[in-house]
Amino acid sequence: MPHYIGRFAPTPTGPLHFGSLVAALASYLDAKSHNGTWLLRIEDLDPPREDKAASTLIPKQLLKHGLKWDGDIEFQSHHGTRYERYLAQLKEQGLLFPCGCSRKTLAAHQGLHHGNCHSALDKPHAWRLVTPDEKWQFNDAVYGDNSQELAQVGDQVLKRKDGLYAYQLAVVVDDYESGINHVVRGLDLLDNTPRQLYLMQCLGIKAPHYLHIPLITNESGQKLSKQNQAQALDLHSVADNLLAALRFLRQTTPPMNMQQDTASILNWATQHWQVSKIPALKDGLIL
């Protein structure tokens, strides 16, 4: 068995809320229960959507909960040269094409793009990946077998018209460059997995193992997020936050005398981590 390398990869749109703590905790426990390495990568690819303070606040929130990552924090905003290298490889393989199509023209096709539009290079353009109409399958440790027709996704944008790199490119490249072989993340990204696997195949990258966890939602069924005013984690109740996150994941919680400090809770939870107990809910768990 190769050494387990996992990660937590938050987008710094705001401070961590309870839903993000559950994802961080699940990826931490899965890594540590395999004597693995747990990395932290800040996915700061899209400055207009980000909250400047969040990139420094998130690591502090994790540390307060005893969730200490291994090695240095990585920032996607520092990886432009790396992404260009992979884009160049895809261009050389004839898998990337410039696209000047507007949102308006694509609206007639449900926003999807199919086939090289041969747009001019001297006009503003995105770079899209030629994507075949094929069905992609993968196995998830919680949600089992999943498949998706890539035609439902169309030719994905890997670099946007405004020059920003797309999440799909950055996540595949950075996971590979960090040696990540286990991806633990929220269910909202399950349907992004087939297109990421296809991109990995184009780049000759070996796929990691996947474990998606159910989402925490508010009462109207929306994923907790900054957009729907999810509360930042209360740092006065870190032990209780961890215990609540364990309950959401249907893990057993430590006995009372081990519930006071984060180190004892995490230690106990690592030893008792059971993926089979995580409920494969499609609708999310209401907070």
Q: Which stretch binds ligand GLU (CB under 6 A): 6-14, 51-59, 90-98, 117-125?
A: 6-14
Per-residue exposure over 160-182, b if at least 16 CB sit within 10 Å of its own CB, e if not? ebeebbbbbbbbbbbbbebebbb
Q: Which stretch binds ligand GLU (CB under 6 A): 9-17, 118-126, 154-162, 262-270?
A: 9-17
Beta bridge partners of 148: 136
How long, in residues, is the chain?
287
Smallest gap from Cβ 124 to ligand GLU, in A, equals: 26
Which one, of 154, 138, 48, lies nearest residue 106 by Cα?
A: 154
Q: Quick one: how far is CA 158 from the chain centroid?
A: 16
Q: Which pairing describes strands 37-42 and 5-8: parallel, antiparallel, or unpaired?
A: parallel
Q: Which residue in 11, 37, 168, 241 binds ligand GLU (CB under 6 A)?
A: 11
Smallest gap from Cβ 88 to ligand GLU, in A, equals: 23
Q: Which residue in 5, 9, 169, 265 binds ligand GLU (CB under 6 A)?
A: 9
Which one, of 248, 242, 230, lies nearest residue 269 by Cα?
A: 242
Q: Which residue in 43, 44, 46, 74 binds ligand GLU (CB under 6 A)?
A: 43
**C-alpha to C-alpha distance for 83 and 173, rounded to whole angstroms:** 7
Q: Quick one: how far is CA 150 from the chain centroid?
A: 19
Smallest gap from Cβ 51 to ligand GLU, in A, equals: 13
- Sign of the CA dihedral 48, 17, 168, 132? negative
Site string for ligand GLU, 116-155 (x = CB under 6 A): ----------------------------------------
Q: Which residue in 10, 15, 59, 98 binds ligand GLU (CB under 6 A)?
A: 10
Q: Name the residue whose CB lies closest to ligand GLU.
A: 185
Smallest gap from Cβ 248 to ligand GLU, in A, equals: 17
Smallest gap from Cβ 263 to ligand GLU, in A, equals: 25
Q: How many residues bind ligand GLU (CB under 6 A)?
A: 7
Which positions from 154 through 173 interact with ligand GLU, judged by CB under 6 A?
171
Q: Which residue in 106, 141, 189, 287 binds ligand GLU (CB under 6 A)?
A: 189
If the CB atoms of residues 34 and 223 are measured against ligand GLU, the closer one turns out to be 223
185: contact with ligand GLU by CB under 6 A: yes
Note the residues at the interface with ligand GLU (CB under 6 A): 9-11, 43, 171, 185, 189
